[in-house]
Amino acid sequence: MMNTLHKSLTIAFLAVSIFISGLSVDFAGAQDTSAGTAASRRPADIVLSPYLKFGRLTSEDGLSNDSVWGIAQDSQGFMWFGTLDGLNRYDGNDFKLYRHDPDDPHRLSDNTIRGLIADHTGTLWIGTWAKGLNQFDRSTERFIRYQHNPDDPRSLSNDSIRAVIEDRTGSLWVGTMDGLNKFDRDTKQFTRYLHEPDNPKSLGSNIIEVVYEDRAGVLWVGTSAGLDQFDPATERFVHYQHNSDDPQSLSQNSVRSIYEDSSGTLWVGTMNGLNKFDQDTGQFVRYKHDPADPSSLSHNVVFMVYEDQAGILWVGTWGGRA
């Protein structure tokens, strides 16, 4: 039964869309137009099919909140949805809700979820808006909390989490509103990377919005002061920032999205435009909204970049899809 669940939910997961303002969760399946019905097919069929039929999961179906910030699938095939009001597990039919309980330290630390991943072991990690990182223990149905402790320099640097990723070595990286953190699973401790005003090789800013690992294993960090490239050998950062006198610099310093396409090009979304980054020259090509050009970027605030299997680049903006 679990294998069937895993297969069916994988199909839905590959075509899932996240909407922030009340549109909850949409999932797509390839439609068999010859028969006039929606058919469950291989994931590749769903992505490539020109005919998609969308289903919706909303609060009317049991979802705790219609604003979804994170989606993950665990090793058992369950779908998980992080919302502005709780964590939801979906088995293909029903939702199970996990919420904060102020009287129970083993419950979710906060209902507002900002980051959600399932790591290579299938363990679920939940980053919350204001109360730290949670690890879900499936065997006990309890949450293990990792939070900032001002007396412990090896604790999480800040409890307001904006990004959680796992790199190719299995290390967990947590971006917060006050620093970047690397989590050691064996010691259960964090190594903090913080901005040091007198050290130009330190993190560019402590406000982290996105963390991304490219195919070469390079870690990129989107901050409020530009794009940072992390060198794990030296533990130093290289900064790419906006320069008003250089039209080939980053368009704006508040970085909200990072994505590497199939050609190896790095795309950087900011609060003022999309940027194509040439790693060889260190220069950027800017793409911005032009009211006089209907084929330009729909809005300058870019939150998401993604390339589909046909090589088409999709850009999610504040004012629509580009």
Structural domain includes residue 5:
no
Residue 252 is encoded by which pair of tokens? Answer: 């704006």
In this prediction, residues 259-265 reach a mean pLDDT of: 94
CA nearest to 193, candidates 219, 167, 169, 214? 219
Q: How many CB atoms lie within 10 A of CB 262?
A: 11
Question: Could you tell me the sign of the dihedral formed by the alpha carbons of 190, 191, 193, 194, in that order?
Answer: positive
pLDDT of 10 above 60: no
Give the tens place of pLDDT for each residue, 147-173: 999 999 999 999 999 999 999 999 999
In this prediction, residues 199-221 reach a mean pLDDT of: 97
Domain count, the chain: 1
Give the tens place of pLDDT for each residue, 55-71: 778 899 999 988 888 88
CATH number, domain with residue 273: 2.130.10.10
In this prediction, residues 265-285 reach a mean pLDDT of: 96
Please provide residue 73's backbone torsions phi and psi, each rounded to the nearest 5 degrees: -125, 130
pLDDT of 311 above 70: yes
Structural domain includes residue 8:
no
Higher-confidence residue of 49 and 148: namely 148
Domain hosting 244: range is 68-321
Structural domain includes residue 48:
no
pLDDT averaged over the chain? 85
Give the least confident one: 24-38, 50-64, 270-284. 24-38
Residue 163 is encoded by which pair of tokens? Answer: 């990004």
pTM (predicted TM-score): 0.84
Structural domain includes residue 110:
yes
Please list, in sequence order, all residues whose beta carbon lies within 8 angstroms of the beta carbon of residue 233, skipping any fewer than 6 positions away. none
Structural domain includes residue 21:
no
Q: Are 78 and 106 in contact (CB under 8 A)?
A: no
Structural domain includes residue 22:
no
Structural domain includes residue 24:
no
Structural domain includes residue 26:
no
